[in-house]
Amino acid sequence: MSAVAKRVITFGTFDVFHVGHLKLLERARERGGSLTVGVSSDDLNYDKKGRYPVYDQAERMLLIGALRVVDGVFLEESLEQKRDYIIEHEADILVMGDDWSGKFNYLSDICEVVYLPRTPAISTTAVIEKIRH
């Protein structure tokens, strides 16, 4: 009898796509048989980070959805809806970068919660600053 492939879900803005994003998505996908990504809406990113993304939500969803390691994308409109999104997408594993370490442990009653180490020395903010100066 073969084991049923687990469904992995992750969330993020993924603005100004960089190698840290790709590595996070690749490692998330390796945890199971499929990967669904909740791409944060422009307004949610403003709430989280105090600025609107460079690429709008439709562009970011197109880019993330085109990746080989990504099986599906949807728009994440609120952090408070994580539980609903996980249930809706029947996810078995929630993967987040360790900048969120501990923040989603309250969801471990419905899925496994895994925090992966961030790729050092790169971020959207750093890329924007590099281009600016």
Q: Contact between 70 and ligand CTP (CB under 6 A)?
A: no
| 48 noted as active-site residue | yes
Contact 94, 111 (CB under 8 A): yes
Stretch near ligand CTP under the rule CB under 6 A, chosen from 1-9, 63-71, 74-82, 121-129: 121-129
Binding mask 30-59 for ligand CTP (x = CB under 6 A): -------------------x----------
For residues 73-96, one letter each, b for 16 or more C-beta atoms within 10 angstroms of the residue's C-beta and e for the rest, the string is bbebeeeeebeebbeebebbbbbb
Alpha-carbon separation of residue 61 from 2, 3, 27, 55, 87 (angstroms): 33, 31, 19, 10, 21
Contact 23, 119 (CB under 8 A): yes
Stretch near ligand CTP under the rule CB under 6 A, chosen from 12-20, 31-39, 74-82, 106-114: 12-20
Among 6, 23, 49, 103, the one annotated catalytic:
49
Which is closer to ligand CTP, CB of 2 or CB of 130?
A: 130
| 6 noted as active-site residue | no
Binding site for ligand CTP (CB under 6 A): 12-15, 20-21, 24, 49, 96-97, 99, 118-119, 122-125
